[in-house]
Amino acid sequence: MRISAYSGTALAVLLSLLAGCTSSGIDALDIVKSSKIDPAATASIRPMVPPTGLDVAEAPRQTASTIEVTSELGFAAEHAQSPVELAVIRAEEPVAPAAIPVPAPTDFARPKVYKASFTDAKPINFGRLSPHPFEVHGVDVSRWQGDIDWQKLRRDGGNFAFIKATDGGDHTDPNFRTNWNAAREAGVPRGAYHFFYWCRTASSQADWFIRNVPKEKGALPPVIDVEWNHTSSCKKRPSPATVREKMQVFMDKLEAHYGQRPIIYTAPDFYEDNLQGAFKDYPFWLRSVAAHPSKVYPNRDFVFWQYSGTGLAASHDTRIDLNVFNGSEAGWHKWLARNRH
């Protein structure tokens, strides 16, 4: 630390006064003869002594975290009422930035399973092979369901959901993003599905789906919905070989991107025309609203069964598709552990 400007100025004034007493310079000052110095005068002169432990030429390295500077080092009297602390920041001790809170990771292992309380506008008597005893129920939705209260839907027994994302190569469901995010916030395991259009290339449709559906931790596998297009803009009905070839191109691209084997959703007429005995190493989601899938799709294993298109739930005002997982609650948790991102 350097001597203060106030102390340096006082010393210079004192020396100049002493030097002015003679024309011979400081060496000729007669200060050794005590008889020439008035004792009363000397008593009023305070020696200019640096503070203890401080070298005038060079300041020692500071080791304390603060330095107290008082009026004795030259500060005006009004600043001397209390010590002033000057912070010393050491280069070797940088100040760490404030930590940014990180949300706790979501546990996707074992979501709670709620008992289904859905009703049906057009109930079907399935006999002994009814979907109602199944332990894990879920839904599939699109823009036609309007605004959905996902928290309420989950409590009603919506333990999983498939949400329409895209169809063809240039259309997205306008409610997809809203449903996708709200279902996740409600803790509903959900996947996205694509309605396949037989008048577009499979590759372009896969690209469109990938462009619009995020690759997200916790999502169910993507779904390809294959049915005959009942629209005036596309009346093509390719051969079974062409159908399967197009499906394979689409599914290969999705599996390469998402790292999950896609699920195949289909209806009885399309299955009978094109898919009997095919894609045995793919999971199937089967529509069968009048009988158990084993009656409609003989010798076909399945993971999900869509048993109604006229379901009712307290979460929204319109009808909704109802589904079940083909297994127990324990089996559901095992399936999730193997097939989610």
Catalytic residues: 140, 227
Instruction: Give SS3 for 253.
Output: helix
With contact defined as beta carbons under 8 Å apart, do 258 and 221 qualify?
yes
CA angle 194, 207, 220 (to 5 degrees): 45
* Sheet strands (E) in 206-303: 223-226, 263-266, 284-287
One-letter amino acid of 89: I
In DSSP terms, 223 is beta-bridged to 193, 263
CA angle 26, 32, 35 (to 5 degrees): 125
CA angle 147, 317, 132 (to 5 degrees): 110
Alpha-carbon gap, residue 260 to 273, rounded angstroms: 27
* Sheet strands (E) in the chain: 66-69, 84-87, 119-120, 137-141, 161-167, 171-172, 190-195, 223-226, 263-266, 284-287, 304-312, 320-325
Sorted by sequence, the CB contacts under 8 Å of residue 98 that are 6+ apart come out as none
**Cα distances (Å, whole numbers) of residue 238 to 170, 197, 245:** 21, 11, 10
Alpha-carbon gap, residue 189 to 133, rounded angstroms: 21
Instruction: Tell me the two tokens of residue 327.
Output: 């297994």
Residue 281 CB neighbours (<10 A): 5
Between the two ends of the chain, the Cα-to-Cα distance in Å is 63
Closest listed residue to residue 266, CA positions, set 231, 223, 210: 223
Alpha-carbon gap, residue 40 to 217, rounded angstroms: 90
